Amino acid sequence: MRSDLQTMEYSSESEVRHPGRLVSNMFRSLWTSRSLAMSLLRRDLSATYRQSFLGFAWAFIPSLLTAITFSLASRNKVLNISQTDIPYVAYVMFGVVLWQTFSESVLGPVTGLSAARSFITKIRFPHEALFLAKIGESIFNFAIKCVLIAGIFIYFGIVPSMGIFAALLVIFLMMIGGLSIGLLIAPFSIIYQDFAKGLPLILGLSMFATPVVYPMPLTDSLAARVIKANPMSYLIGAIRDLTIHGSTGYSMQLFWIATGTLILFFISWLVFRLSMPYVIERCG
């Protein structure tokens, strides 16, 4: 790890003046930060799970409780949910796990940069390690949640299709999209705590504008148009379709979402990199 960090170069001249060099340095920093990212990932996982009685269970307890709550509400006619193609408990559990994974991807850069606030002003290192560690943590947490999903599927006799491998690619795309949003917000959250405090509230409300606990609406109401304008609606719908049926009717939407996500990720990464000197100066 030390040899990687020694290859880093710093200059007082703004990187924006040399776009080609800027892009080259971005990818070089991403590559050299991999060992540091693994160290940060091990530290974060240890702090999250080893210092708790329930350990890894905390990765899926929120999803489990949320799914149970909505299932009871639907069973007792508190919510009027239309027919789903798999048992509603499994439907909700799957959707909540996907939404929680997306939320963790969004919050990851914000919490990672906040945790690093004490040493980003003292140590020079590739800051890409911060978000690489967080995307690794999101993948690890999702792998734990998959155990819960597998148990639910086995209990209800649901056999996933071969499309589950394509669904994993869409899940990774969803994580990259969440990471991109988090990268845009992270520098501002260090300076203004309102972002860090308000983001979980916004994500919680946004879940109800996404078909997480209900199917995609077929009507043309105002609420339905809002839901259909939400890219996450098609990502979660496509993941469900590919896992259960092996195909999805959202192929064109996925193409445009994937294109937009890659563009957003690069822009977010660029903003993150260029804003870090100002963040460090403000923290210092």
pLDDT number for residue 255: 96
For residue 106, what are the domain limits?
16-283
Residue 4 in any domain: the answer is: no
Q: Does some domain include residue 8?
A: no
Q: Is residue 11 one of the residues assigned to a domain?
A: no
Q: Is 141 exposed, middle or buried (0-12, 13-18, 19+ CB in 10 A)?
A: buried
Side-chain half-sphere exposure of 138, counting CA atoms within 13 A? 31
Question: In this predicted structure, what is the pLDDT of residue 2?
Answer: 44
| Assigned domain for 75 exists | yes
pLDDT computed for residue 101 by the predictor: 93
HSE, side-chain direction, 13 A CA sphere, residue 145:
26
How large is the average pLDDT for residues 241-267? 94
pLDDT band at 53 (very low <50, low <70, confident <90, very high): low
Residue 1: inside a domain, yes or no?
no
Cα separation of 170 and 239, whole Å? 7
Q: What is the per-residue pLDDT across 26-42, written as a single tens digit (0 to 9) for each? A: 888 888 888 888 988 88
pLDDT band for position 238 (cuts 50, 70, 90): very high
Highest mean pLDDT among 11-20, 123-132, 169-178: 169-178
**Pair of tokens at residue 178:** 């969440």
pLDDT for res 17 = 64
In a domain, 10, yes or no: no
- Has residue 5 been placed in a domain? no
Q: What is the pLDDT of residue 24?
A: 85
- For the chain, the average pLDDT equals 83
> What confidence score (pLDDT) does residue 245 get?
92
* Domain assignment present for 116: yes
What domain count does the chain have?
Answer: 1
Distance of CA 164 to the CA centre of its chain: 19
pTM as predicted = 0.84
